[in-house]
């Protein structure tokens, strides 16, 4: 990372594992039914990591103005967001031409939703982001980034920051009580208020953890324990109230403990790689999975479900490799090109050097 040459490689590994947990949750035809798990809590971990990482990279620079910071975030997020959305556009066009699919596309729905999707805005549709449902969290990421940039001055006060976290936590708990779900908050228009509390609590807690992590004395746990413990939590069959407890208290501890622990040797290399690929994995996995399954079924008359979970393992390995290539040969050059064209005065090197980058 940029400041003081500090890196948080364990956090890279945690982010990568969280992204792969989402892949496993969605790729049920390849891996098997995991809907009983709480893997969707990985998104809450993403938001905590985002607050921690962006506080590290940008908190001292927010005085440059919110527009520069938001421009930097758009440059970071948009290229891979666009790829994930375009894959969804391809799927939608195939559904319109041949039928089938998980979303009942019509021509009107397609053309109404497309401009919103390209602008990173939720569409007037129940699912908000019909081309790629996971993009709801990217929208909330930008929302909370803008909120932080606009109110950075009062939020410099730790007292106000803690108050914001407490109020957001109360709002999140109330939302879970009213809706009966935590992991469903933010994914549709009916839960958008609860989604706002969800991202606000986790993101600003991440900012607070960054401020405090050097001041607290914690044991340096072996990174492998944290990396093994995260999937164990994410794949527990937790009821909504237990998921709330995990989001409020348990998952943030992984970030705090991970900031005090660094892997070595091969484990360090693996953490850096899956961390680098994590955002690409998150943005493209669901549509690549659906297109792969449909292509095998329609073109080869093979239902890949007969090969689970082995086909799932192969898919995950291929996905990680593809995303590393995508990151190197598309995402980084695209961000560099956008930086030159837009002429941002924000030091984007901070994010380029930040291995744990927040989607």
pLDDT in tens, 116-164: 999 999 999 888 999 999 999 999 999 999 999 999 999 999 999 999 9
What is the mean predicted confidence (pLDDT) over 329-334?
A: 96
Q: Would you state the pLDDT for residue 350?
A: 42
* Spatial distance between the Cα atoms of 169 and 175, rounded to a whole number of angstroms: 10
Across 283-312, average pLDDT: 95
- Distance, in Å, from the CA atom of 285 to the CA atom of 172, rounded to the nearest integer, reads 28
The Cα angle at residue 265 between residues 260 and 268, in degrees rounded to 5: 50
Res. 62: pLDDT tops 90: no
Supply the pTM of this predicted model. Answer: 0.93
Question: What are the percentages of helix, strand and coil residues in the chain, rounded to 5?
Answer: 75, 0, 25
At residue 348, the pLDDT reads: 46
User: Is a pLDDT exceeding 90 seen at residue 202?
Assistant: yes
Separation between Cα atoms, residue 207 and residue 230, nearest integer Å: 21
For residue 205, pLDDT over 70 is answered with: yes
Q: Which residue has the tokens 């195939």?
A: 94
pLDDT of residue 125: 84
Confidence bin at 103 (pLDDT 50/70/90): confident
For residue 42, the SS3 value is: helix
Q: Averaged over 238-258, what is the pLDDT?
A: 97
The answer to whether residue 343 scores a pLDDT higher than 70 is: no
Q: Which of 278, 251, 186 is nearest to 38 (CA)?
A: 251
Q: Which two tokens stand for residue 30?
A: 């390849």
Confidence check: pLDDT of 292 > 70: yes
The residue among 99, 29, 3, 23 whose CA lies nearest residue 316 is 23
Which of 21-25, 74-78, 207-211, 217-221 is predicted least confidently?
Answer: 217-221
Give pLDDT, residue 351.
47
What is the reported pLDDT for 358?
52
pLDDT for the residue numbered 1 = 35
CA 47/CA 59 separation, integer angstroms: 16
Tell me which of 117-126, 197-206, 342-351 is least confident.
Answer: 342-351
Q: What is the mean pLDDT of residues 31-60?
A: 94
pLDDT score, position 64: 77
Supply the pLDDT for residue 100: 78
The residue written with tokens 């669901």 in the block is 286
- In this prediction, residue 246 carries a pLDDT of 98
Considering all CA atoms of the chain, what is the largest pairwise distance in Å, rounded to the nearest integer?
A: 61
Q: What pLDDT does 38 receive? A: 95
Mean predicted lDDT score pLDDT of the chain? 92
pLDDT tens by residue, 2-26: 344 567 999 999 999 999 999 999 9
């Amino acid at each position: 990372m940029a400041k003081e040459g500090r890196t948080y490689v364990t956090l890279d590994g945690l982010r990568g594992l969280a992204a792969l947990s989402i892949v496993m949750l969605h790729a049920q035809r390849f891996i098997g039914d995991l809907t009983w798990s709480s893997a969707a809590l990985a998104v809450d971990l993403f938001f905590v990591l985002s607050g921690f990482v962006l506080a590290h990279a940008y908190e001292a620079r927010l005085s440059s103005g919110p527009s520069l910071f938001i421009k930097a975030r758009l440059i970071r997020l948009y290229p891979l967001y666009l790829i994930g959305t375009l894959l969804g556009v391809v799927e939608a066009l195939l559904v319109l031409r041949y039928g089938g699919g998980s979303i009942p596309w019509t021509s009107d729905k397609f053309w109404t939703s497309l401009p919103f999707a390209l602008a990173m805005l939720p569409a007037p549709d129940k699912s908000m982001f019909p081309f790629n449902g996971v993009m709801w969290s990217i929208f909330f990421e930008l929302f909370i980034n803008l909120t932080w940039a606009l109110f950075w001055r009062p939020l410099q006060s730790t007292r106000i920051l803690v108050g914001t976290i407490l109020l957001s936590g109360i709002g999140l708990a109330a939302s879970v009580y009213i809706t009966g779900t935590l992991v469903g908050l933010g994914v549709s228009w009916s839960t958008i208020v609860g989604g706002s509390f969800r991202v606000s609590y986790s993101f600003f807690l991440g900012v607070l953890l960054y401020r405090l992590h050097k001041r607290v004395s914690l044991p340096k746990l072996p990174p492998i324990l944290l990396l093994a413990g995260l999937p164990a939590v994410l794949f527990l069959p937790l009821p909504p109230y237990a998921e709330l407890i995990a989001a409020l208290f348990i998952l943030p501890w992984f970030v705090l403990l991970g900031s005090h622990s660094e892997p070595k040797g091969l484990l360090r290399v693996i953490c850096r790689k899956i961390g680098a690929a994590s955002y690409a994995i998150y943005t493209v996995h669901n549509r690549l999975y659906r297109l792969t399954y449909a292509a095998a079924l329609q073109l080869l008359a093979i239902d890949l479900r007969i090969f689970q979970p082995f086909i799932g393992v192969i898919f995950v390995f291929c996905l990680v490799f593809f995303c590393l290539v995508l990151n190197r040969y598309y995402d980084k050059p695209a961000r560099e090109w956008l930086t030159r064209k837009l002429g941002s005065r924000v030091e984007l090197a901070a994010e380029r050097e930040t291995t744990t980058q927040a989607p």
